[in-house]
Structure 1
Amino acid sequence: MPMLRNPAAKYRPFPQIDLPDRRWPNRTIDRAPRWLSTDLRDGNQSIIDPMDRAKKTRFFDLLVDVGFKEIEIGFPAAGQTEFEFINWLVHSDRVPEDVVVQVLTQSRTDLIGRSFESLEGAREAIVHLYNAVSPAWRDIVFRMSREQVRQIAVDGARMLVDEAAKRPGTKWHFEYSPETFSTAELDFSLEVCAAVMQVVGPTKDWPIILNLPATVEAATPNIYADQIEYFCRNLPDREAAIISLHTHNDRGTGVAAAELGLMAGADRIEGCLFGNGERTGNCCLVTMALNMYTQGLDPKLDFSDIDSVIETVEYCNELPVHQRHPYGGELVFTAFSGSHQDAIKKGLEAQEERNDEYWRVPYLPIDPVDLGRNYEAVIRVNSQSGKGGFAWVLQQDQGLKLPKALQSDFSKHVQHLADSLGRELDADDIWRCFRQTYYLQVDRRKFRLVDYNESRAADGTRVFAGTVEIDGEEKRVSSKGSGLISSVLATIGDSFGLEFEVADYSEHALRHGVDARAAAYIEWTAPDGRSGWGVGIDQDVATAGVRAILSAANAVAHGPGTPRF
């Protein structure tokens, strides 16, 4: 059936929240929240093949290394495998003293008891109780009244207290979720949560965690923020509760909803690495944490080696992290567009010259180095790329800093190569093309420098004398001029009959230290109106200049219209 021309006949807009004095729009996030990873529970139940013990253990160790202090490790009542893993983990030495494990249970007597059994002997743990409270669930799934649904929550809370009392050796914490909060009546969610708090008796020093999930994201994130602020402002004994958020991404705004909810008064964020979770996934904790990082806030989570994190997540979930996923995707720091490449190249150069402590580079909201990435993959070259792209690649790969006019000269050759190959060009492609275009170490060169020396004549002029191989045969040549470059030019003219002038010359060191090399660039013009560039690279800067002249001589000798590769 096709999409409706009048979707209003089938779907209704989500109602606004009556909160005319809302405060959250004027707030900012100024500190990291408490984080809960639910990768081993919500994430695990959302993948095609649930993780075995080895994968769950590897994932748990990753979460600890990243810095999570609260980790939901499973749903004990889901099956024996789940139960045994939880029980094994709490008795292993893998749970650091500053990390608290959590399990989830529906508000059912048998399931609550099973959950406490799985945590038997734990040093400290959170038991997370939930039941759905929205009208759709009450009317369609349960066929229960408000009072009956509230009673389910109250009975579950009483059992939490009773089961914890049987196990005084564990430091217990309780979490309650009015599941489907975002599509429930706010007054009823408040009523149920207040009833649970009356049973549990939380205090400021021993608060209950109240999780307010967007179980199915059904509205814009500002409405969710209104719901959170309304709840926080109207909850009795607010200081005895930690407000936690568990957003889903059905509308594509799971991270935004969590961020606005934090501004609206929440204290804790639940989610998964790279947004795994049911349907379209949960709030991506990587994205939210690094969003904070780019605003100058320490998120208390460490993604310094993000590729290692991705490797583990992909292995355990058997799901790929998308190439465009914020911060982590393979292509998120990559520019193919010429104008983008030029802006990034200039931004990185300015950042280095400025030596400014504040990051300011176009198109890069975060320094890839902070995440363990390098700059080599920032700019990649294809048929859409401009001269800044290949110039950046040559600078990063070979240390060459091409003059702008040389970049323009070489760009048409790179463009031709990209069009002919019909694919992205890597650094080897570009370097090979550059060497062929400017006759660097290419067999088809007409002229090749074998050796040379220079001296000063009695009249003060410079004398160039050397051996040049021409068409495979060595020839001794010499001439003089006012300087080394002019004496080489005179030699080329006197010995080989090639006439051209140097319109521009520049040089630079390629690297420092004992292996230092130099590059020289010569722009030439010929009597027939042609112009081009010669390039020379050598350990010695003077010899690099000589090689640049011979590079230019090769171009002049090949004549107009001769392809360079």
Structure 2
Amino acid sequence: MANRVYFFDTTLRDGEQSPGATMNQQEKLRLAHQLEVLGVDIMEAGFPASSQGDFDSVRQIAEQAGDIQVAGLCRCMDGDIDRCWEAVKHARHPRIHTFLSTSPLHMKYKLRKDPEIVLQMIEAGVRRCASYTDNVEFSAEDASRSDRDFLCRVTELAIRSGATTINLPDTVGYAQPDEFADLIRYVIEHTPNADKAVFSVHCHNDLGLAVANTLAALRVGARQAEVTISGIGERAGNASLEEVAMALRVRQDYYGLEHGIQTEQLYPSCRLLSMTIGQPIPSNKAIVGANAFAHESGIHQDGMLKNRETYEIMTPQSVGRTSTNLVIGKHSGRNAVRNKFEELGYKLSEEQLQTVFEAVKNLADLKKTLHDDDLMALVQEEIYRIPDRFRLRHVSVQSSDAGGVPPTAAVLMDVDGIECSRAGFGVGPVDAIFNVIADMVGREPELEQYAINSITSGTDALGEVTVRIRENGHTAVGRGAHPDILVASARAYVNALNHLAKKEKEGERLHCQHAEQ
């Protein structure tokens, strides 16, 4: 049995289903590039049949990808499969990933089909996929709650029909490690043609066992791990890429397995995702959290001073937590800025470089030193945001703890290309800013979440604000960064309004398409 584990990353598909983790097309392309740098074997770029936007993103990712395999997800239906192939076919190594439910619960209530009909659908669907490519993955949805012998029939049939990868997912995070390992072992041992396919697992974290279940399955013969950066995904998320990768690397003596993940890129990848979706990395997050290599206990500190291995089983450098290089400032030239961003993994056009260069100069006037995280936040703010219907120009706030005049905000911004200005009051400075902006764009969204995170340390640190708003059944997340937290708040709110407007426009387009049909 081969000891190479293949990492299948689904951050761009399952991960994006995490509430508030929606990414625009440019952000997806940036993250796809980072997945290649990270050493991922297969990236699942999206679900092409779900929307035109997803189709376009998958197609662009496929066209720009290098040697990494690019997969698209599709239901076991002719239309989905055809659409998936159209999106991924220009990749150097395209993969079609199709799925169908196999548990009694799903077949009865979700599919409303008898097991024999499900088998016929699997055979027809996989054969259609195989007519396009020999790189076909079949997933038995809700495998962990499926009948074992029926799962063996499904697996044998899918392989015979052309599947080269078989995924047995714990779709609802129900399985326990020993139980799940026993299921994977049973299916491999009782499927006659099991040697003709790579077995994969896709584990959800509803009971906090996604990583444990993934590792248990790898020990008994699974050789593909389906994961996401920072474990983001549907409901409680997926198995965390960085945790699985480091468990296999640190405990290679126990697992005897190898992989191609460049572990020094783990923290940069998680930080990029965090900045992209506006969700800070929790301090106690394994591998990449701020406290992962922090030691406060006197006993621990004493041990560390004597020998790091007393309380550290891996080094910060091994996951990319190296000391920050403080070289970019107000006197840096264009070439220095270009080289710095290339070191950080960004490929900028001349127009993008000029935009970023000017933003670096402006930020350097406000901060003494620019950290790598500052620069990454700046690129997200200036380059990878969606095209703006609403664009903030300036904001000014007056606030005091003295009685009398309430907090006041004055805002200058472009609304549909027209420059507008207005002032107004609020309970606090942030409330005043949001009230004025909402009034200017003619909306009254409900603010569901407001969160502040410091990107770096120090009193001059960039503040990163995330807001989530809801209106007319649509939810949108906005992000903004600036040394002035009130300016960051205004940027985040405007960004959320742009996302909300885009979602409504897409909804109207889909409604018109359905009406025409």
| TM-score interval, smaller chain | 0.5 to 0.7
Give the partner amino acid of 2:310.
P
1:89 maps to: 61
> CA contact under 8 A between 2:72 and 2:84: conserved in structure 1?
yes
> CA contact under 8 A between 1:306 and 1:328: conserved in structure 2?
yes
Alignment of 1:239 onto 2:187? no
1:309 alignment partner, SS class:
helix
Q: Sort the Cα spacing of 1:140 and 1:339 in 2 relative to 1 into closer, same or farther, 3 A.
A: same
1:13 maps to: none
Q: How do 1:313-392 residues align onto structure 2 when only pairs under 5 Å count?
A: 313-348=273-308, 361-373=309-321
Q: CA deviation at 1:364?
A: 1.0
Give the partner amino acid of 1:60.
A
Alignment of 1:188 onto 2:160? no
For 1:343-392, what per-residue CA distance to the aligned partner results, in whole angstroms no more than 9, with x for missing partners? 222223xxxxxxxxxxxx2221112232343599xxxxxxxxxxxxxxxx
Q: How do 1:20-39 residues align onto structure 2 when only pairs under 5 Å count?
A: 31-39=3-11
Q: Sort the Cα spacing of 1:259 and 1:30 in 2 relative to 1 into closer, same or farther, 3 A.
A: farther
1:145 maps to: 114
Q: CA deviation at 1:134?
A: 0.5
Q: How do 1:75-474 residues align onto structure 2 when only pairs under 5 Å count?
A: 75-91=47-63, 94-96=64-66, 98-162=67-131, 164=132, 172-200=134-162, 208-296=164-252, 299-348=259-308, 361-373=309-321
Provide the TM-score with structure 2 as the length reference. Answer: 0.59
> CA contact under 8 A between 2:5 and 2:258: conserved in structure 1?
no
Q: CA deviation at 1:141?
A: 2.0
1:243 alignment partner, SS class:
strand
For 1:75-97, what per-residue CA distance to the aligned partner results, in whole angstroms no more than 9, with x for missing partners? 00110011111222323xx311x
Which whole-Å CA distance do the structure 1 matches of 2:315 and 2:206 have between them?
30
Q: CA deviation at 1:317?
A: 2.8
Instruction: Give the number of equivalent residue pairs.
Output: 322
Q: Sort the Cα spacing of 1:374 and 1:108 in 2 relative to 1 into closer, same or farther, 3 A.
A: closer
Which whole-Å CA distance do the structure 2 matches of 1:305 and 1:197 have between them?
35
Provide the TM-score with structure 1 as the length reference. Answer: 0.54
Which whole-Å CA distance do the structure 1 matches of 2:111 and 2:8 have between them?
29
Q: Sort the Cα spacing of 1:209 and 1:343 in 2 relative to 1 into closer, same or farther, 3 A.
A: same
Q: CA deviation at 1:145?
A: 1.5
Which whole-Å CA distance do the structure 2 matches of 1:334 and 1:279 have between them?
29
> CA contact under 8 A between 1:124 and 1:172: conserved in structure 2?
no
> CA contact under 8 A between 1:303 and 1:309: conserved in structure 2?
no
Which whole-Å CA distance do the structure 2 matches of 1:282 and 1:199 have between them?
29
Structure 1, unaligned stretches of length 5 or more? 1-28, 165-170, 203-207, 349-360, 377-426, 429-565
For 1:312-366, what per-residue CA distance to the aligned partner results, in whole angstroms no more than 9, with x for missing partners? 1102232222111111000111122222222222223xxxxxxxxxxxx222111
Q: CA deviation at 1:32?
A: 4.1
Which whole-Å CA distance do the structure 2 matches of 1:234 and 1:305 have between them?
39
1:4 maps to: none
1:62 maps to: 34
> CA contact under 8 A between 1:73 and 1:102: conserved in structure 2?
yes
Structure 2, unaligned stretches of length 5 or more? 325-456, 459-517
Give the partner amino acid of 1:346.
K
Which whole-Å CA distance do the structure 2 matches of 1:311 and 1:375 have between them?
15
Q: CA deviation at 1:237?
A: 1.2
Which whole-Å CA distance do the structure 2 matches of 1:250 and 1:36 have between them?
20
For 1:232-267, what per-residue CA distance to the aligned partner results, in whole angstroms no more than 9, with x for missing partners? 101111211110111111111111111110111111
For 1:139-167, what per-residue CA distance to the aligned partner results, in whole angstroms no more than 9, with x for missing partners? 222222211222221221232234x1xxx
1:250 alignment partner, SS class:
coil
Which whole-Å CA distance do the structure 2 matches of 1:347 and 1:255 have between them?
29
Q: How do 1:542-561 residues align onto structure 2 when only pairs under 5 Å count?
A: none
Alignment of 1:40 onto 2:12? yes
Which whole-Å CA distance do the structure 2 matches of 1:178 and 1:305 have between them?
32
State the structure with more CA Rg: 1
For 1:393-439, what per-residue CA distance to the aligned partner results, in whole angstroms no more than 9, with x for missing partners? xxxxxxxxxxxxxxxxxxxxxxxxxxxxxxxxxx99xxxxxxxxxxx
Which whole-Å CA distance do the structure 2 matches of 1:235 and 1:34 have between them?
21
2:140 alignment partner, SS class:
strand
Which whole-Å CA distance do the structure 2 matches of 1:197 and 1:305 have between them?
35
2:264 alignment partner, SS class:
coil
Give the partner amino acid of 1:275.
G
Q: Sort the Cα spacing of 1:374 and 1:177 in 2 relative to 1 into closer, same or farther, 3 A.
A: closer
For 1:43-83, what per-residue CA distance to the aligned partner results, in whole angstroms no more than 9, with x for missing partners? 11224252111110111011000111211111001100111
Q: Sort the Cα spacing of 1:113 and 1:373 in 2 relative to 1 into closer, same or farther, 3 A.
A: closer
For 1:167-208, what per-residue CA distance to the aligned partner results, in whole angstroms no more than 9, with x for missing partners? xxxx541000111000110111111222222322x6xxxxx1
Q: CA deviation at 1:115?
A: 1.0
Q: Sort the Cα spacing of 1:372 and 1:140 in 2 relative to 1 into closer, same or farther, 3 A.
A: closer
Which whole-Å CA distance do the structure 2 matches of 1:179 and 1:46 have between them?
19
